[in-house]
Amino acid sequence: MAQTTLWYVNDIKFDELSKRLENNRFFENSDYYPGFEIEKILNSQNSLESVGINSDIKFNVYEYSYSFSGQHSSSSRLTGTLILFEFNNKLGFIVDKAGYNNALSFLRELYKSNKKKTIVPAKYDDSIMNGSLFLWMISKIYNNDSTINYDIGEEKKTITLNSLDGVKGKSRTGLNNVSTQGSDVINMLTTLAFLLESERLTEVGLNISFDTHDSLQLEIKTHNRIISLDVKPEEYMGPLTNNELCQTNGKVNLVILRSIILLTVHLSLIPMLYSLYKADIAGTNVKDDLVSEISADMANRLQRLKKETADLEEKITSENELQK
């Protein structure tokens, strides 16, 4: 699946924009989207219960497609997903487009306007754009402090960072990466080297438990002006698989399930992670602290290995003496 980006729309109402998407033709003379078609596959106004977001939301899910010259077929088509939503009195899109200019021009065509500031990308704090949030997540997992409890009103909630499956960073020599998979020693060495070499973190693969969702697998990337992310609906574990919105002919519809997970992640999970990060790191330097912790752990591990080696050598010497 493509990476998705979050955008907000001004000067129009949900119902009006929904009608535009249904009643207009798009990209009629476009070389980039020949034979463009768009179809609404879910109208959430029929049922708004239990979509995993702690506020009222209404949304439509659309599937679009267009022709391209495939290697084996002249009638091949590429597909993508578009989500129109209204949440907290804001109207927005989530779209299968990662590039800033590509996504903006695509959405302007659907909106039928090139007016500036009508469609704008979601704004994120510098700590998200420069990868500091990713560092914090690495630190929480490394220190076995990955379960975070918080309150929403009188409700008790929990986020658990289950694993970081891969992280990429920007260094002077290009991109480097690290994974939390493998042995403890290898993780220590590779993570330490990665942190020392990276100027900023640009990508993270994360498995997370959030609220009632037992397992969400997602990938987040930072770009110059926006962030993009995607999820893996086939690996999702939680109540959405039994939600009537996600069922088609008695089976889970992965396109709709992915769309609802994307709404949950973009509109609820990312803001919550940022809030928890800000509350947790006040007055600290996450990168310096993590480098110090890993260095100290490596020193302690080496000391233990030296002692174990010395003890083993002493045991072997004693056994040899007894055999003489």
The whole-chain average pLDDT of the chain stands at 83
Domains and CATH numbers, the chain: 5-121 (3.30.310), 126-287 (no CATH)
Arithmetic mean of pLDDT, 226-243: 94
| Lowest mean per-residue pLDDT among 50-64, 128-142, 148-162, 235-249 | 50-64
Task: Give whichever of 112-116, 185-189, 249-253 has the largest mean pLDDT.
Answer: 249-253
What pLDDT, on the 0 to 100 scale, is given for residue 171?
61
What pLDDT, on the 0 to 100 scale, is given for residue 270?
94
Task: Tell me how far apart the alpha carbons of residues 275 and 152 are, in angstroms, rounded to a whole number.
Answer: 12
What is the percent of the chain where pLDDT is above 70? 84
pLDDT tens, 259-280? 999 999 999 999 999 999 998 8
What pLDDT, on the 0 to 100 scale, is given for residue 46?
45
Binning pLDDT at 50, 70 and 90, where does residue 147 land? Answer: very high
Arithmetic mean of pLDDT, 131-145: 85
Cα distances (Å, whole numbers) of residue 140 to 144, 146, 191, 211: 6, 5, 13, 18
Cα-trace Rg, the chain = 24
Burial of 281 (0-12, 13-18, 19+ CB in 10 A): middle
Task: Give whichever of 172-181, 191-200, 201-210, 254-263 has the largest mean pLDDT.
Answer: 254-263
Task: Tell me how far apart the alpha carbons of residues 200 and 109 are, in angstroms, rounded to a whole number.
Answer: 34
Binning pLDDT at 50, 70 and 90, where does residue 102 land? Answer: very high
Higher pLDDT among residues 314 and 49, named by residue: 314
Nearest CA among 215, 271, 274, 280 for reference residue 53: 271
What pLDDT, on the 0 to 100 scale, is given for residue 244?
85
| Lowest mean per-residue pLDDT among 4-8, 144-148, 259-263 | 144-148
Higher pLDDT among residues 1 and 98, named by residue: 98
Does the pLDDT of residue 318 top 90, yes or no? no
pLDDT tens, 296-306? 777 777 777 77
Binning pLDDT at 50, 70 and 90, where does residue 47 land? Answer: very low
What pLDDT, on the 0 to 100 scale, is given for residue 48?
45
What is the percent of the chain where pLDDT is above 90? 42
Convert the chain into a string of H (helix), E (strand) and C (coil). CCCEEEEEECCCCHHHHHHHHHHCCCCCCCCCCCCCEEEEEEEHHHCCCCCCCCCCEEEEEEEEEEECCCCCCCCCEEEEEEEEEEECCEEEEEECCCCHHHHHHHHHHHHCCCCCCCEEECCCCHHHHCCHHHHHHHHHHHCCCCEEEEEECCEEEEEEEEEEEEEEEEECCEEEEECCCCCHHHHHHHHHHHHHHCCEEEEEEEEEEECCEEEEEEEEEECCCCEEEEECHHHCECHHHHCHHHEECCEECHHHHHHHHHHHHHHHHHHHHHHHHHHHCCCCCHHHHHHHHHHHHHHHHHHHHHHHHHHHHHHHHHHHHHHC
